[in-house]
C-alpha cells in the first residue's frame, strides 16, 4: 500500500478547498465505495462528509508527491544548509588563496619598483643631471602618480581588479624597458611617463577590500606592510648591487622580467571580478553618474560624501609632516647625523623592518579590540609625542628611538583611514576611493622636497618636529569635536 498522502481539491463556483487525506483512509473509503474510480470516490466521499457542499466535475484526487513527511522535509533542509555551508567554506578558501597570491604579487611588484632607487640616481648622474634636475625628475614622477591614482581606482571599479593589476604590471615593465634605453635626459624623463598607471599596491588593497569582511579587513590590509618591507629591503639592495656590478641594463631587464611574470600571474590567478556576487549587481547599478574613467566630477562626488573629506584630510595632514621629514632623511643622515651613504641605507632598512612588524603583527590585533576612531585618535596622539621627540633630537641614537613610534603612527593612520574610507562610499566606488587615498604618497613626494628643503635650510632639523607637533595637536582637538562614524558595512 502506498504511503504517500493524497491531496483532495474541492472546487466550485465560489471557492476552492484543499486538504490532505492519508492514503490508508482513502483506500478504505475506496473499498467501502466499491470502486477505485477517483472521481467517483471523491464525489461519494464529499457527499457523505460534506452534504452541504455541491461538488462539480472539476473535483479530483491527485497524489501529492511533493509533500513529504515532516522528518523528510527536515532532512532535506538540513542537506541544503550543509550544501550552502560547504559552498561558503569553498568560497572563503578560494578568497584566502587569491589574497595570498595578491601578497606574493605585491612583494614582487614592490621589489621591482624599489630597484629603481638604485638605478635612477646612478643613471641621472651619468647623464649630467645636477641635484635640481634630479629634483625635477622626481617631481615629474610624483605628479604622474598623483594624477594616476584616482584614474586607476575608477578603472578598477569599471573593468575589475585583474585588469587593473595587469595594467599596472605592464606599465611597470614598460617603465624599466624605457629606462634601459635612456641614453639622454629626455628619454630619462620619458621613462617616467608609464608611472601614471603603476599602482600595484592600491590594486592589491582593492582585491583585499573586496574579498574580506570589515572585521578581518584591517589585519589583511596590514599584512601588505610585510610585502612593502620585503620590497624596500630586497629591491633597494638588489638594484644597487646589480647596477654596480653589471651596469644599468641588467637590473632593468630583471625588473622587466619580474613585472611580466606578475602580469601573467594576475591573468591566471586573480578573478576578473573580486567583488562578491551580491555586491557585483549593486556595483553595476552603482551611484556613479559618469562611466568615464577620467571623470573629475566623480572624484569630487566621492570626496563630498558624508565623512569622507574629514577622514581624508586627517590622513593627509597627519602623514604629511612625517613624509616631508623622511624625504629629507638621506640629506639629514649625512649632513646632520654625520653618517656615510651605506649607514644611511641601514636606517632605511631599519624603518622597513619596523613597518613589517607593526603592519603585519600589531595592527590586526589592535583592530580586533578597539574601535577605528579610538585607533585614529591614538595614532594622532603618538604623532604629537614624535613631534616633541624630534624637536629634542640631536644624534642618530635619538632618531633610532623615535623611529618605532613614528612608524606605528603613520602605519595605523594609513590602514585605519583606508578602512573607514572604503566603508563610507558605495561598494561600486571602493576602488576609486582607494585610488584617491593612495594619492597621498605622491602628493607628499611632489611637494615635500620643496617644503622640506626650505624648512631644513632656514630652521634646521627641529623645524620638522615643530611642524609635526602643531599639525597633530590640531587634529587631536578636531577629533575630540568631530565624531568619525563607525559603520560595519559599506553604504549602499
Q: Are residues 304 and 249 located together in one domain of the fold?
A: no
Q: Give the domain range for residue 81.
A: 71-274
What's residue 213's pLDDT? 82
Instruction: Kindly give the pairing relationship between strand 16-21 and strand 60-63.
Output: unpaired
Q: Are residues 116 and 258 located together in one domain of the fold?
A: yes
Instruction: Kindly give the pairing relationship between strand 6-11 and strand 16-21.
Output: antiparallel
Q: Are residues 314 and 215 located together in one domain of the fold?
A: no
What's residue 291's pLDDT? 55
Q: Are residues 426 and 348 located together in one domain of the fold?
A: yes
What's residue 348's pLDDT? 74
Whether the Cβ atoms of residue 172 and residue 194 lie closer than 8 Å to each other: yes
What's residue 149's pLDDT? 86
pLDDT < 70 stretches in the chain: 1-93, 276-295, 341-342, 344-345, 483-492
Q: Are residues 153 and 263 located together in one domain of the fold?
A: yes
Look at residue 59 and tell me if it is in a domain.
no
What's residue 176's pLDDT? 94
The 10s digit of each residue's pLDDT in 109-164 is: 999 988 887 788 778 888 888 777 887 888 888 889 888 888 888 888 888 889 99
Containing 17, the helix (H) or strand (E) segment is strand 16-21
Look at residue 24 and tell me if it is in a domain.
no
At 360, list the grid cell.
603585519
What's residue 388's pLDDT? 96
Distance between alpha carbon 11 and the CA centroid of its chain, in Å?
60
- 329: closest CA among 360, 363, 352? 352
pTM: predicted TM-score of the whole model, two decimal places: 0.69
Long-range contacts of 293-296 (CB under 8 A, 24+ apart): 293/151, 293/154, 293/155, 293/158, 294/151, 294/154, 295/154
> How far is the C-alpha of 275 from the C-alpha of 277, rounded, in Å?
6
Task: Supply φ then ψ for residue 56, to 5 degrees.
Answer: -110, 165
> How far is the C-alpha of 97 from the C-alpha of 99, rounded, in Å?
5
Q: Are residues 435 and 315 located together in one domain of the fold?
A: yes
What's residue 464's pLDDT? 94
Look at residue 428 and tell me if it is in a domain.
yes
> How far is the C-alpha of 489 from the C-alpha of 215, rounded, in Å?
10
Q: Are residues 257 and 313 located together in one domain of the fold?
A: no
CATH number for the domain spanning 342: value is 1.20.1250.20
C-beta atoms surrounding 213 within 10 Å: 11
Look at residue 375 and tell me if it is in a domain.
yes
Amino acid at each position: 500500500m502506498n504511503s504517500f498522502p493524497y491531496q483532495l481539491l474541492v472546487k466550485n463556483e465560489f471557492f476552492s478547498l484543499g486538504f490532505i487525506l492519508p492514503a490508508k483512509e482513502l483506500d478504505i473509503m475506496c473499498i467501502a465505495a466499491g470502486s477505485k474510480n477517483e472521481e467517483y470516490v471523491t464525489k461519494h466521499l464529499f457527499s457523505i462528509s460534506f452534504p452541504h457542499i455541491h461538488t462539480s466535475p472539476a473535483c479530483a484526487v491527485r497524489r501529492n508527491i511533493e509533500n513529504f513527511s515532516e522528518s523528510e522535509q527536515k532532512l532535506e533542509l538540513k542537506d541544503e544548509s550543509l550544501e550552502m555551508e560547504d559552498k561558503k567554506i569553498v568560497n572563503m578558501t578560494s578568497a584566502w588563496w587569491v589574497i595570498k597570491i595578491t601578497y606574493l604579487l605585491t612583494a614582487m611588484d614592490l621589489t621591482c619598483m624599489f630597484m629603481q632607487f638604485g638605478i635612477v640616481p646612478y643613471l641621472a648622474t651619468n647623464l649630467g643631471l645636477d641635484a635640481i634636475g634630479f629634483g625635477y625628475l622626481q617631481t615629474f614622477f610624483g605628479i604622474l602618480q598623483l594624477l594616476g591614482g584616482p584614474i586607476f581606482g575608477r578603472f578598477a571599479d569599471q573593468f575589475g581588479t585583474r585588469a587593473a593589476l595587469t595594467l599596472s604590471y605592464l606599465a611597470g615593465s614598460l617603465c624599466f624597458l624605457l629606462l634601459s634605453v635612456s641614453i639622454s635626459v629626455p628619454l630619462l624623463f620619458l621613462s617616467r611617463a608609464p608611472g601614471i598607471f603603476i599602482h600595484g599596491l592600491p590594486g592589491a588593497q582593492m582585491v583585499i577590500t573586496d574579498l574580506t569582511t570589515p572585521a578581518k579587513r584591517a589585519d589583511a590590509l596590514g599584512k601588505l606592510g610585510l610585502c612593502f618591507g620585503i620590497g624596500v629591503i630586497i629591491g633597494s639592495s638588489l638594484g644597487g648591487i646589480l647596477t654596480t656590478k653589471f651596469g644599468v641594463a641588467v637590473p632593468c631587464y630583471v625588473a622587466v622580467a619580474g613585472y611580466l611574470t606578475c602580469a601573467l600571474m594576475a591573468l591566471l590567478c586573480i578573478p576578473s571580478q573580486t567583488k562578491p556576487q551580491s555586491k557585483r549587481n549593486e556595483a553595476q547599478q552603482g551611484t556613479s553618474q559618469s562611466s568615464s574613467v577620467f571623470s573629475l566630477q566623480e572624484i569630487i562626488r566621492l570626496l563630498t560624501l558624508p565623512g569622507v573629506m574629514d577622514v581624508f584630510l586627517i590622513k593627509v595632514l597627519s602623514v604629511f609632516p612625517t613624509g616631508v621629514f623622511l624625504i629629507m632623511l638621506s640629506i639629514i643622515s649625512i649632513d646632520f647625523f654625520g653618517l656615510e651613504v651605506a649607514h644611511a641605507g641601514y636606517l632605511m632598512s631599519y624603518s622597513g623592518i619596523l613597518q613589517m612588524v607593526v603592519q603585519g603583527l600589531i595592527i590586526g590585533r589592535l583592530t580586533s579590540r578597539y574601535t577605528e576612531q579610538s585607533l585614529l585618535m591614538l595614532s594622532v596622539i603618538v604623532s604629537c609625542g614624535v613631534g616633541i621627540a624630534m624637536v629634542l633630537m640631536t644624534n642618530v641614537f635619538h632618531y633610532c628611538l623615535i623611529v618605532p613610534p613614528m612608524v606605528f603612527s603613520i602605519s595605523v593612520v594609513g590602514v585605519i583611514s583606508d578602512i573607514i574610507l572604503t566603508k563610507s562610499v558605495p561598494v561600486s566606488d571602493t576602488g576609486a576611493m582607494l585610488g584617491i587615498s593612495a594619492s597621498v604618497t605622491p602628493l607628499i613626494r611632489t611637494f615635500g622636497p620643496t617644503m622640506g628643503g626650505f624648512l631644513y635650510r632656514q630652521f634646521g632639523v627641529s623645524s620638522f618636529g615643530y611642524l609635526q607637533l602643531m599639525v597633530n595637536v590640531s587634529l587631536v582637538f578636531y577629533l575630540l569635536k568631530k565624531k568619525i562614524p563607525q559603520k560595519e558595512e559599506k553604504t549602499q
